[in-house]
Amino acid sequence: MADQANNLEQAVDQAVESVADQLGQLTDGVVTGDPIGLENLLDVPVSITVLIGTTRMSLGDLVALGPGSLIPLDREAHEPADILVNGRVIARGEVVTIDNTYGVRISHLDKDL
């Protein structure tokens, strides 16, 4: 668990550095004021996507889809879903239901954060 927390902390540090680099590019490398600091970034919203599978089909098959059509995915039902933050896989988990909505229970964090 400590390794996962370490990996997550490293990923956050890398994101902070990336944002700082991008801000530096916007200001032509002239940086003024106080450092951004992690505390100031914790409220920044990020997009989270849960990917349960993918498939490829021809445009003709896509156009033929309608209500009741089934689209087979490339994963079996017992396989974990990918959890992506801004398009990057950070964890995997199990799709669950919470009251009347879907959720995801994180089973492990990606070690390559």
Lowest mean pLDDT among 13-27, 64-78, 94-108: 13-27
| CATH number, domain containing residue 80 | 2.30.330.10
Phi/psi for 31 (5° steps) reads -110, 130
Contacts by 4-7 with C-beta closer than 8 Å and gap 24+? 4/108, 4/109, 4/111, 7/109, 7/110, 7/111, 7/113
The stretch 64-80 carries a mean pLDDT of 94
β pairing state of 101-109 and 48-51: unpaired
What average pLDDT score do residues 66-79 get? 93
Which structural domain, as residue segments, surrounds residue 15? 1-42
Question: Do 37 and 68 share a domain, yes or no?
Answer: no
Q: Regarding predicted confidence, which is higher, 14 or 75? A: 75
Q: State the pTM of this model.
A: 0.59
Would you put residue 39 in left (φ > 0), alpha (ψ -120 to 50) or beta? alpha
Mean pLDDT value of segment 54-61: 95
Query: Which of 52, 54, 106 is CA-nearest to residue 79?
Result: 52
Is the per-residue pLDDT at 96 higher than 90?
A: yes
Q: Are residues 58 and 15 in the same domain?
A: no
Choose from 37-41, 59-63, 107-111 the range with maximum mean pLDDT.
59-63
How sure is the predictor about 41, in pLDDT bands with cuts at 50, 70 and 90?
confident
Same domain for 52 and 32: no
Same domain? 10 vs 37: yes
59 shares its domain with 27: no
